[in-house]
Chain A
Amino acid sequence: MKAYIIKRVLSMIPVLFLVAIFVFFLIHFIPGDPASVMLGPDATPEEIDNLRSELGLNLPIYQQFFQWTANILQGNLGTSLYMNMPVLEAFISHIGPTLSLALLAQGVSVLIAIPIGVLAARKRGTSVDSTFMLIAMLGMSIPSFLLALILMLVFGVKLQILPVAGYESLSSGILNHLKYLILPALSLGAIQAAVITRMTRTSMIDILSTNYIKTARAKGLRERVVIYKHAFRNAFIPILTILGETFGSLITGAVVTETVFNLPGIGQLVMNAITRRDYAVIQGTILIIALTYLTLNLLIDLLYGVVDPRVRLNRK
């Protein structure tokens, strides 16, 4: 197991390197001179020159890259030109709403999706199955920002029970905090729930047709035990993969959903940075998110070891 962890961590290094290269070069894809683009048309040649040397744009490209990487390894993601603060600090000050939103959306969607997926698999081919699958299909086909707008319309105009914009941090009380997050989480979680429901159903159907499920039934086990003890533990393995992979779409959705509901999260940070051409913030944010994604998937790979003994032992 230890060797497996080490091997898996080491295999991340080339990917990290490539991620870094990509983020670094992003700024060099800007047509024309990045410094003058960043400062806008009103900048004096002097200001542009200053920024060029500040960013190290006069150095040869490989030196710039090493300098940049060395800074990152020391935790220095650069400075936001507009906000006048380190990028890392800006990121941390915006992570709260995004994290709450993502966790709430993911948590609720897993709690809803897995039982429904299992049920649909057991009732395969019945009207219960096709109804849930139709709903899931619909859920998959509504982009989260569109669902957000629809929820806004319904709750803002018709029902008026939940706030349709704004944010209160956790320090203002958990209920207050959640009140602002319910609609965003609903719009973000719907697509997650749809994807997980479909995955759970497919996975369960596969497992339910295996020989060891027949063995479990032949042992005289109750259907409940067959489903949850014998089938689900096996079916959970591909579901786990999906949970890792959908993290990306969760962040994606969060970025757009935040702008709809006016949540001061990462999405807002990035979108503001784009309108202000604050490239250091864009670079720093997507670098951190990519790292988070990779780490999360590493953790999930390690979790396989817990769920599936074949992984644990084969790679000893």
Chain B
Amino acid sequence: MELKTTAIDNVNISKLKNKTKLERRRLLVKRFLFNKSVLIGTIILLFLTLFALFAPLITPHSPLAMENANRLQPPSSEHWFGTDNFGRDLFSRVANGAQVSLTVGLSVAVITAIVGLIIGLYASYYSLLDHILMRVCDALMAFPDILLAVAIMAVLGPQPVNVVIAVTLAKIPVVARVVRSSSLVVKEQTYIEALKSQGASSWRIIWKHILPNILSPLIVQVTYIFAIAIILEASLSFLGAGIPAPNPSWGNILLDGKIVIFNASWMTIFPGMFIVFAVLGLNLFGDGLRDLLDPHSNKSIK
């Protein structure tokens, strides 16, 4: 065997490598398309993004304009989703709410990913730091997320930015822990030991060699965080501690709708549908991604 490989000249090897790389990419694309969860999740998320971007543009009604004469109108050709208890157009409010919810969710996902990544990576590398940071995470995780967020909102005041801060703070420990445990595994690998013995700097080892290996669990986790952030934002707004009125968000439309739930069920059904849709899309996407990226769950059934 040994003889054979040396017999092949280098050009051939690099060609072969390129070919397998292409092959692998093609396989990944194929698996991506054949993974129903990822596919459906992607379609849902794509639809929601387009909805959030363009729906506010196509409706003639402002999300804030109140028409007292048109209060609590059921869905019609004029008001597709009906109107709320102030006579505002519900379609326009749900569409603008989509912008708010998705923006808050995405911001939380991105910020928790970055901060959690840094904390998790460095904690896994320096054991003293690990002890300190993980105790801090333990302490933060001892607060149920909504209570923590509600308390922070109570202190900071109801503002969209504060929603992002509150939810981010509640979720950073989760991401940090996932990153830490995955990179602890990577750190134990022989090639990291080898790099260390060659005198590679810690910066180089952490960012160039550990980071690429923990990206998949991070991405999967962040997808779930995105979903949780949407739920938390909706819950906070529903409690009146999130996005302040009169600006629409799915949560505070539901809050308005709760008072009139038996008279105007559309105020509950439409925003509710969108929340479920968004969270379902993200969960499906995350699940599918996990199956794609984790070779473990890919075992064929025997």
List the interface of chain A (C-beta within 8 A of B).
14-15, 18-19, 22, 26-27, 29-31, 124-125, 137-138, 140-143, 145-146, 149-150, 152-153, 156-157, 209, 248-249, 251-252, 255-256, 259-260, 270-271, 274-275, 277, 279, 282, 285-286, 289-291, 293-294
Please report whether the interface of chain B is mostly helix, strand, loop or mixed according to DSSP. Answer: helix
Please, how many angstroms separate the alpha-carbon atoms of A249 and B143 in the complex? 10
Report B135-147 CB contacts with A as 1/0, cut-off 8 Å.
Answer: 1101111111111
Chain B, 58-98, CB within 8 A of any chain A CB: none
- Is there a chain A Cβ closer than 8 Å to B231's Cβ? yes
- Is there a chain A Cβ closer than 8 Å to B275's Cβ? yes
User: Which residue in B146, B150, B272 is a CB contact (below 8 Å) of A150?
Assistant: B272
B238 touches A294 (CB 8 A): no
CB distance from A183 to the nearest CB of B (A): 13
User: Which residue in A125, A275, A293 is a CB contact (below 8 Å) of B144?
Assistant: A293
Q: Residues of B contacting A285 with CB < 8 Å? A: 147
B150 touches A22 (CB 8 A): no
Please, how many angstroms separate the alpha-carbon atoms of A146 and B261 in the complex? 12
Given contacts A141-B276, A143-B275, A282-B151, contact A252 B261 (CB under 8 A): no
Look across to chain B and name the residue whose beta carbon is closest to the beta carbon of A273.
Answer: B154
Given contacts A150-B268, A153-B265, contact A140 B283 (CB under 8 A): yes
A256 touches B151 (CB 8 A): no
User: Which residue in A22, A143, A209, A277 is a CB contact (below 8 Å) of B140?
Assistant: A22
- Is there a chain A Cβ closer than 8 Å to B148's Cβ? yes
CB distance from B51 to the nearest CB of A (A): 17
B139 touches A143 (CB 8 A): no
List the interface of chain B (C-beta within 8 A of A).
135-136, 138-148, 150-157, 227, 231, 234-235, 238-241, 254, 257-258, 261-262, 265, 268-269, 272, 275-276, 279-280, 283-284, 287, 299, 301
A286 touches B147 (CB 8 A): yes
Q: Residues of B contacting A275 with CB < 8 Å? A: 240
> 12 more A-B contacts (CB under 8 A) besides A248-B145, A285-B147?
A137-B283, A142-B275, A143-B234, A153-B261, A153-B268, A248-B144, A252-B144, A255-B150, A256-B238, A275-B240, A286-B147, A293-B143
Please, how many angstroms separate the alpha-carbon atoms of A149 and B139 in the complex? 33
